[in-house]
Structure 1
Amino acid sequence: MRCVIFDLDGTLADTSGDLIASANYCFKSLGYGDVLDAISDAGTALRGGRAMLDLGFARVKPDYDQTDVDAQYPVLLQAYADAIDVHTKLYDGAVEGVEALKSSGYAVGICTNKPAGLAESLLQKLGVRDLFDSMIGADTLPVRKPDPAPYVAAVEQAGGFVAQSYLIGDTITDRKTAQAANVPCALVTFGPDGQAVKALKPEALLHSYGDLMAVTKDLIG
C-alpha cells in the first residue's frame, strides 16, 4: 500500500508557542524571566527541548554546561505535558488533506522526534489521533530520526510499503531521514523556516495542504 508519513511539530501543527512557554517556565523558575520569544525563536522550539534550553542558557548564563540543560529538561517536559495544547494549532487544511489521502486509499502515519507519550497526548487533544494509522515517537525505538528505522517502523505499522512511501517534514532532520530510508521527501514552506527549506533540495515543496494530493501523486503515484 502507498503510504505518506508526516512529521508532527512544524509540519502538521504549529507547536512552537507551547514549547516556548515550557522552556520559559524553566527560566522563570531560575529567576531569568521569559528568555525565549514565541515568534523569533519558533524555529529553535521545533528542534526540541534541549535546543531551546541551550539557546536560553547561552543568553543568560554564558558559562552554562550540559548539566544545566540536563537538570531542566525533565522540568520542561512536565511543564509542556501540563499545557500541551494552549497555543498549538493544526496548520490550515491539514485535517482535510489527510482525510483526502485516506479516502483515496493511502495509508498515513506520523514519525516524530517528540517523545511518544507527548505526541499521543497532543494528537488526542487536537482530536486527530484516529486519522493516523501509525505513530512512532522519539523513544518508541532505541534510535530516532534521522536514523531511518523509526520511519520504516511508521510505514510498516501503517500497513504501507517503504518503496511506495514518502516523508513530509520541515527540517534538515526530515530531509536526512528520507535520504537514509531512500525515499522521497517533501518539505513544507509554511513552517518556521519558510522558503529556506528550498536549500535542502527536497524532492518536493509543500506550500499548502491544498497541494497535498498533487504532491503525493507526483512522488509516489
Structure 2
Amino acid sequence: MKRCVIFDLDGTLADTSGDLIASANHCFAQMGIDERLDPLLDAGTAVRGGRAMLTLGLTRAGLMSEETVTRWYPELLTAYDDAIDHHTVMYPGAVEAVEDLRRADYAVGICTNKPAALAEKLLRSLGVRDMFASMIGADTMPTRKPDVAPYWAAVDRAGGRRDASLLVGDSVTDRNTSAAAGVPSILVTFAVGGEDVHPLKPESVIDHFHELVPEVIRLIG
C-alpha cells in the first residue's frame, strides 16, 4: 500500500470550462434563448457542472425552473460528449507533477463529480488516462463528493493507504470531502476564482503545479 494523492479533474487537472460552456450554449440555442454564457466571465460556473450552467442561463433569461433544467441536462451531456476536447487543456505542469509523484512511488487517482464515462473519454482524449491508477466519477458510487465514499474508493482502487492520502482540488466541495475524510487537502488557485480557496483554510494552497510535490511530502511524507 502506497502513500496516495487523489485529484479532482475539472478546474484542478484540466481547464474544461470552454467545452462545458459550449455545451450549455448549444442547449440555449435549441431553446431559442438569444443570450449565451461567456467562456471567460462564466468559467467559474462551468466548473460547477452542467446543472449550474443551465440554471445561470435560464435565470438570466427569466425562464428558470427545475423542470427545465432536468429536461435539458441530458441534452447538455450529449452535446458535451460530442465535443468534449475542442478547448480543454491540462493545466501547465500538471502532467509533470503527476509523473513526479509516480516516480516517487505515490499512488495517484482521480475523484471527480463529472459522470464517469465523460471523465474517462476526456482523460483518454488528453492522453493521460494511464497515468492514474483509479478514476471515480459522479455515478461510479451511489454518492458523490463531498460524501467520503467516492474518495475512499479512489484511494483503495489506486492501491493507496487511507491514512497517508490527500485530495488535490479547487473548490469547497473538495475541501469538504477532505475534511469529512479527515485527510489533508491541497487547493489550487489557477482555476477561475482561485483566490476564493484561501478562506476555506485547506492544509495547503498552490499557485502552480511545480509547488505540488514538496507540499505532498510535507503533508503525508
Q: TM-score by structure 2 length? A: 0.98
Structure 2 match to 1:211: 211
Q: 1:54-203 to 2 correspondence within 5 Å?
A: 54-62=55-63, 64-203=64-203
Whether contact under 8 Å (1:24, 1:33) holds in the other structure is: no
Whether contact under 8 Å (1:170, 1:193) holds in the other structure is: no
Q: Which deviates more from structure 2 when the two are superposed, residues 34-43 or residues 184-193?
A: 34-43
Structure 2 match to 1:29: 30
Structure 2 match to 1:45: 46
Q: Distance between the aligned counterparts of 1:163 and 1:67, measured in 2? A: 42
Equivalent pairs: percent with the same residue? 60
Q: Secondary structure at the match of 2:150?
A: helix
Whether contact under 8 Å (2:16, 2:89) holds in the other structure is: yes
Which letter maps to 2:169? G
Q: Secondary structure at the match of 2:141?
A: coil
**Gapped runs of 5+ residues in structure 1?**
none
Q: Distance between the aligned counterparts of 2:134 and 2:119, measured in 1? A: 12
Q: Distance between the aligned counterparts of 1:14 and 1:40, measured in 2? A: 14
Q: Secondary structure at the match of 2:160?
A: coil
Query: What do residues 41-88 of structure 1 show as CA deviations (whole Å, max 9, x unaligned)?
Result: 1111000100000000000024x2111001100000000000000000
Whether contact under 8 Å (2:93, 2:209) holds in the other structure is: yes
- What is the deviation of 1:193? 1.5
Query: What do residues 75-107 of structure 1 show as CA deviations (whole Å, max 9, x unaligned)?
Result: 000000000000000000100000000000000
Which letter maps to 1:41? D
Whether contact under 8 Å (1:186, 1:202) holds in the other structure is: yes
Whether contact under 8 Å (2:35, 2:61) holds in the other structure is: no
Query: What do residues 127-180 of structure 1 show as CA deviations (whole Å, max 9, x unaligned)?
Result: 000000000000000000000000000000000011100000000000000001
Q: Distance between the aligned counterparts of 1:77 and 1:33, measured in 2? A: 20
Q: Distance between the aligned counterparts of 1:10 and 1:74, measured in 2? A: 22
Which letter maps to 2:186? A
Indicate yes or no: 2:53 matched with 1:16. Answer: no
- What is the deviation of 1:33? 3.1
Runs of 4+ in 1 over 6 A off after TM superposition: none
Whether contact under 8 Å (2:110, 2:132) holds in the other structure is: yes
**Gapped runs of 5+ residues in structure 2?**
none
- What is the deviation of 1:207? 1.1
- What is the deviation of 1:34? 4.7
Q: Distance between the aligned counterparts of 2:40 and 2:20, measured in 1? A: 11
Which letter maps to 1:28? A
